[in-house]
């Protein structure tokens, strides 16, 4: 009986949001099974109500999976029982998996949604995982924040380990590399440091841009890279930029990084974002209505991490207030999140940031110049003014050399469309926004 419930729990864990699982399902234990009725011990009435309302369907479903669809469920409130420590076992649980702790269970090729924006990166990563060290070496994945680089890099490591559990696979971000190097240098253990990395079969380095500007680190990395590469060991690198564009990265590293296969991940299109929402929802055991999915996908421009976060907030809000997940609750929730986007920034600040970023002359944004290297920054600046200030369209137009309000609208639309496909411009925008704290 206990093992029946334990098996149910295992299935439930796959369906329910991890946080909710830990809060509501993990603490529940089985008391007895009698006359086709399973008694579950819960710590309070509140628990019983909550589970009944939110998870009973899932519980029934997983019971069905065990061939016991007919089982009835009864809740027994047992306040005496000391509260179950939910956090500790949860951590152990992940560790119990054969995968080393550094691989997150949710990052796999299966859970990655493939669309136009990432299909090349996905296919390259999968190929590389299937035949490590043979074809694409190094594999260099790059793309903006939250677009799935870590997800893919981890999927490669995971896949290789699943195929060959003895493979020596190391995943780390380049700042962890830096930290390990520093600590080994301080302890006088360079030999150990080198051995750790140079004996690997697969080295996965996430966010390589963080080694930029650090000479000794780059030097070490260069030698490790060469040694592994020479021995036919797979190297996978991710970054937010194309190798050539990483400032303060030694040329010899740039050329090494570009010597294998480079695959970029572009911001996802609307359909892909919706597919990601649906997949994520299904995994966690809830459904997002199509209009809500579309609203979320439209509101969150490109960062999938942000998209997931917003979706989780909407779901949490619905569950806390006992309301259905609908457009109204989605709007209400996201309003809170994005309410203060129009803040602390005005047109001159935006213009200065754009001028700085593109190294323009102060007058360029207001001039009549039509050269592309001026037009695009000018449109980008107008876009930012429209998105992030309360200024009226005519007012913005005026600040850009007395232009018409329709010019501002046009600029806004153009940039909005362009950043969906133009990674370079998207990166410019991200950097400027970062500088402006937006
Ligand atoms: P990056 O490393 O590029 O900043 P991550 O790999 O951390 O981005 O991705 C951010 C989040 O978005 C992760 O939770 C990841 O699982 C999810 N994600 C990104 N792209 C996809 C995708 N195509 N399918 C499913 N989930 C995705
Ligand atoms: Mg990452």
Span 2-87 CATH architecture:
2-Layer Sandwich (3.30)
Report CA(143)–ligand 2 centroid distance (Å). Answer: 10
Q: Pocket residues for ligand 1 (CB within 6 Å)?
A: 107, 111-113, 118, 143, 145-151, 276, 304-305, 308
Give the orientation angle of helix 372-388 with respect to helix 347-358, to 10 degrees. 150
Length of the chain counted residue by residue: 438
pLDDT at 364 over 50: yes
Q: How far is the CA of 262 from the centre of ligand 1 (A)?
A: 18
The DSSP H or E segment spanning 5 is helix 2-15
Nearest atom in ligand 1 to the alpha carbon of residue 268 is: 23
Ligand nearest to the CA of 148: 1
More reliable by pLDDT, 223 or 423: 223
- Least confident window among 94-103, 131-140, 189-198: 94-103
The per-residue pLDDT of the chain, averaged, comes to 88
Distance 207 CA to ligand 2 centre (A): 7
Q: Between 308 and 94, where is the model more confident?
A: 308
Helix (H, G, I), strand (E, B) or coil at 37: strand
C-alpha–C-alpha distance, residues 312 and 17, integer Å: 9
pLDDT score, position 98 = 55
User: pLDDT tens for residues 274-313?
Assistant: 999 999 999 888 889 999 999 999 888 889 999 998 999 8
Distance 70 CA to ligand 1 centre (A): 39
Query: Can you tell me which atom of ligand 1 is nearest the CA of 115?
Result: 23
Decide if 129 contacts 156 (C-beta within 8 A).
Answer: yes
**Domain 119-265, CATH class in plain words:** alpha beta
- The residue-averaged pLDDT of 107-125 equals 96
Protein residue closest via CA to atom 26 of ligand 1: 112
Proportion of the chain above pLDDT 70, given as a percent = 91
Q: Supply the pLDDT for residue 361.
A: 92
- Say yes or no to pLDDT of 87 above 50: no
Question: What number of helices (H) and strands (E) belong to the chain?
Answer: 19, 8
Span 14-40, average pLDDT: 82
Which residue has its alpha carbon closest to ligand 1 atom 6? 148
Strand locations in 168-327 (E) = 169-173, 202-206, 234-239, 261-265
CATH code matching the domain that covers 270-339, chosen among 1.10.8.60, 3.40.50.170, 3.20.130.10, 1.10.3720.10: 1.10.8.60
Q: DSSP string spanning 8-30?
A: HHHHHHHHS-HHHIIIIITT-EE
Domain chopping of the chain, boundaries: 2-87, 119-265, 270-339, 343-435
| Torsion angle defined by CA atoms of residues 286, 290, 296 and 302, in that order, rounded to the nearest 10 degrees | 100
Q: 382, 374, 371, 390: which is closest to 416 by C-alpha?
A: 382
Residue 336: the pLDDT is: 64
Bridge partners of 261, per DSSP, are 139
Residue 271, CB half-sphere, CA atoms under 13 Å: how many? 5
- Determine the angle formed by the axes of helices 290-299 and 304-321, rounding to 10 degrees: 140
Q: Which residues surround ligand 2, an ion (CB under 5 A)?
A: 149-150
Tell me which of 171-180, 358-367, 419-428 is least confident. Answer: 419-428
Q: Classify domain 343-435 at the CATH topology level.
A: Chromosomal Replication Initiator Protein Dnaa; Chain: A; (1.10.1750)
Characterize 273-301 residue by residue with b for buried, 16 or more Cβ atoms within 10 angstroms of its Cβ, and e for exposed: bbbbbeebbeebbbebeeebbbbbbebbb
> 204: burial class by Cβ within 10 Å (0-12, 13-18, 19+)?
buried
pLDDT grade, residue 1 (50/70/90)? low
- The rounded Å distance from CA 31 to ligand 2 centre is 44
Among protein residues, the one whose CA lies closest to atom 20 of ligand 1? 148
User: Which ligand has the nearest atom to the CA of 308?
Assistant: 1
Which positions ≥6 away from 121 have C-beta within 8 Å?
A: 141, 143, 148, 152, 263, 264, 265
């Amino acid at each position: 009986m206990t093992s029946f419930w334990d098996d149910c729990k295992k299935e439930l864990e796959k369906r329910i949001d991890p946080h909710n699982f830990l809060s509501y399902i993990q603490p529940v234990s089985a008391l007895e099974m009698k006359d086709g009725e399973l008694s579950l011990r819960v710590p309070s009435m509140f628990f019983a109500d909550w589970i009944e309302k939110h998870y009973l369907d899932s519980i029934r479903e997983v019971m069905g999976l065990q061939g016991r669809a007919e089982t009835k469920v009864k809740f027994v409130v047992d306040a005496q029982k000391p509260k179950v420590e939910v956090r500790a076992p949860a951590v152990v649980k992940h560790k119990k998996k054969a995968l080393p702790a550094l691989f997150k269970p949710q990052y796999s090729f299966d859970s990655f949604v493939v669309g136009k924006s990432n299909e090349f990166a996905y296919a390259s990563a999968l190929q590389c995982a299937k035949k490590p060290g043979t074809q694409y070496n190094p594999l260099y994945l790059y793309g903006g924040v939250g677009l799935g680089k870590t997800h893919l890099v981890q999927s490669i490591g995971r896949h290789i380990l699943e195929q060959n559990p003895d493979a020596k696979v190391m995943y780390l971000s380049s700042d962890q590399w830096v930290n390990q190097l520093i600590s080994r240098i301080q302890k006088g253990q360079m030999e150990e440091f080198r051995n750790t990395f140079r004996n690997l079969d697969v080295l996965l380095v996430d966010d390589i841009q963080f080694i930029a500007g650090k000479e000794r680190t780059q030097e070490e990395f260069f030698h490790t890279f060469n040694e592994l590469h020479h021995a036919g060991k797979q190297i996978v690198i991710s970054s937010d930029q194309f190798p050539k564009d990483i400032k303060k990265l030694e040329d010899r590293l740039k050329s090494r990084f570009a010597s294998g296969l480079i695959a970029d991940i572009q911001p996802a299109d609307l359909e892909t974002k919706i597919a990601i929402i649906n997949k994520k929802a299904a995994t966690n055991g809830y459904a997002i209505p199509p209009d809500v999915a579309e609203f979320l996908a439209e509101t969150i421009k490109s960062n999938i991490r942000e998209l997931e976060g917003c979706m989780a907030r909407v779901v949490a809000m619905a569950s806390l207030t006992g309301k259905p997940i609908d457009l109204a609750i989605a709007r209400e929730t996201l309003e809170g999140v994005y309410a203060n986007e129009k803040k602390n920034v005005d047109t001159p600040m935006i213009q200065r940031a754009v001028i700085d970023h593109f190294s323009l002359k102060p007058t360029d944004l207001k001039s009549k110049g039509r050269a592309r290297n001026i037009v695009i920054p000018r449109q980008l600046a107008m876009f930012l003014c429209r998105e992030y200030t309360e200024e009226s369209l005519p007012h913005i137009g005026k600040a850009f050399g007395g232009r018409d309000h329709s010019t501002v609208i046009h600029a806004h639309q153009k940039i909005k469309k362009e950043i969906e496909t133009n990674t370079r411009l998207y990166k410019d925008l991200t950097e400027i926004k970062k500088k402006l704290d937006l």
